[in-house]
Amino acid sequence: MYAILAQQTERTRGSSTSQIKQLIAESDSKIILLENEMAALESRMAALVELRDLECAARDALRFLTAPIRTLPVELLAEIFLLSIREPDESGYIYSKLLHIQDAFRISHVCRRWRQIANGTPQLWAGPVKVDFRQQRSLTEEGINGLEMLLARSAPLTVPVTIIGLENGSRPTESSCRATETLLCTAARWRSLRFVNYMVPPWFFQRLAGRSLDCLEELVLWNVDQDSHFDPTTVSSFATAPRLRKATLSSTCGIPMPWAQLRDITLAERISPESFRSIFSQCIDVLKVCVRVVGTSVLSQIRPDALALNQLRILSVTWVGDESGMQFFDCLSAPALDELHLCFEEGDIDWAEDAFTAFQLRSPNITKLKIEGEGFPVPSHALITAFRHAPFLTHFSIDHCPNSVDDHFCQALCYTDDAEPLVPRLHTLAVAETDGKFSQDGLANMIASRWWTDTELASRSRPPAVARWKQIRLKEDWIGSSFEFSSTFRGTIYALQETGLDFDFVELEYWKLDW
């Protein structure tokens, strides 16, 4: 601006005011001419932009007409859509289940043809349905309309439903009533129903009354909020669900269940052996059971005849409470049991060797044994005794059981041709309890004694009487422990790895078994 001012000052030096006004008028005329030219150019540019956009659209249409995907049958394109949908995170992170809906909406917004195919493909919309009553956006007009549309597009297929944050102790709001009614209208299509609330309000079950749950296969119901005006025993919806096979619930919720038809049962609340007998005597065909057990103060109350669950394949027992808890095994017989998971959560519990051995004799076909001690020390001699009565054991895992893995443990598992071996079929071992109170050479020798290369096996005059290792896992880092595997031990293991042994030192945060 200063440069222009200096230029015009020099230009008008010696000019009168009238002469300067004449120059101003000339500038105004030039500006009008330039603005007119600009308007013409802008109009021309707009026309060119419109022509350009039309040509781009025509080009894209031509590309679409020649695209190989356009020639695909509708059925195959729908299958591609289904394969492009991300699966929910199996870690249990509830919000990852939204990915399915997001992906389906993205596909349906690519073009009109894709939208028609997507909207006509119920499988694309039959992913996890989650309604969070804590989030206002889930209860807005737009959110409820979206829920209605999702459920409508998934018809007639079944859908898994998760409900979060139902209001306890108060009357439901108008928006929550509408969202609930939207869900309940599709109750006959629920494949699974999971309540994230620990306590579910009675009003939900009152609204559920009279609805058929013809497709329900799985139920997760922790408990029901107490209400003097509500009798949970009057809720018959679940007891009459013909396909219900899997249930996670509290044994005290009071809602009738079709116990005889359930095959997979997890009881969240602590139960006594007596309560276990009372419930599971109705479930003689159950295949999988997970329970939390407390001891009984009067052992004579446990009936001497064990409850026979002849179809039971998987049993997980968590002990909470007093020292008599393991007497629970006195009340159970499971001749077909394949996998046993023992977890000691808290309390002063004694390992009941006689009771466990008797249980093994009644359940002789166990192939997988997993022990999580949470600091509970299972004596090594007890483990050795358990091995003696587990001839079919193939997998063994022990975690957080101080002093359980010692020299006696290693020596007992060490194989020599001239001695009868323990657990001859054992091929998978996971040990997350090495506190250093054993010889690392002894552990290495035990591992090496049950490993042969293909060449070594072929050169033997007779095969070994034990299976060779398929997988070994040792937990490597120990919180609050100075224990470390020596370089000699690591060298031995690395040498075995070079010959094909599947062996891993696993850090604590990645400790997860494949079975």
The model's pLDDT over 9-45, given as tens digits with 9 standing for 90+, comes to: 888 888 888 888 888 888 888 999 999 989 999 989 9
Is residue 406 within a helix (H) or strand (E), and if so which, with residue range? Answer: none
**What pLDDT is recorded for position 155?**
94
Total number of domains in the chain: 2
Mean pLDDT for 427-442 is 83
Reported as a pLDDT band with limits 50, 70 and 90, residue 239 is very high
| Chosen domain end from 10, 42, 66 | 66
**What pLDDT is recorded for position 300?**
46
Which two tokens mark 416? Answer: 């020599």
pLDDT in tens, 435-444: 667 788 999 9
The residue ranking higher by pLDDT, 137 or 161, is 161
- For residue 494, pLDDT beyond 70: yes
Residue at 274 is within a domain: no
**pTM for this structure?**
0.81
Reported as a pLDDT band with limits 50, 70 and 90, residue 450 is very high
Q: Which domain holds residue 453?
A: 370-515
* Distances from the Cα of 223 to the Cα of 152, 226, 248, 406, 484, angstroms: 30, 9, 10, 43, 45
Residue at 132 is within a domain: no
| Chosen domain end from 10, 35, 66 | 66
Is residue 81 within a helix (H) or strand (E), and if so which, with residue range? Answer: helix 74-84
**What pLDDT is recorded for position 299?**
47
What is the rounded distance in angstroms from the CA atom of residue 255 to the CA atom of residue 224?
9
- Please state the length of the chain: 515
CB crowding 425-463: b at 16 or more within 10 Å, else e: ebbbbbbbbbeeebebebbbebbbbbbbeeeeeeeeeee
Q: Are 195 and 222 in contact (CB under 8 A)?
A: yes
Residue at 414 is within a domain: yes
Q: Are 325 and 347 in contact (CB under 8 A)?
A: yes
pLDDT in tens, 331-363: 899 999 999 999 988 666 778 899 999 999 999
CB atoms inside a 10 Å sphere around CB 394: 19
- The most confident of 75-79, 165-169, 256-260, by mean pLDDT: 256-260
What is the rounded distance in angstroms from the CA atom of residue 320 to the CA atom of residue 323?
9
Residue at 51 is within a domain: yes
The SS3 of residue 357 is helix
| Chosen domain end from 48, 66, 84 | 66
Residue at 509 is within a domain: yes
Residue at 251 is within a domain: no
Q: Are 302 and 296 in contact (CB under 8 A)?
A: yes
Residue at 220 is within a domain: no
What is the rounded distance in angstroms from the CA atom of residue 432 to the CA atom of residue 437?
14
What is the rounded distance in angstroms from the CA atom of residue 463 to the CA atom of residue 465?
6
Reported as a pLDDT band with limits 50, 70 and 90, residue 61 is confident
Residue at 383 is within a domain: yes
Residue 275: closest CA among 209, 328, 312: 328
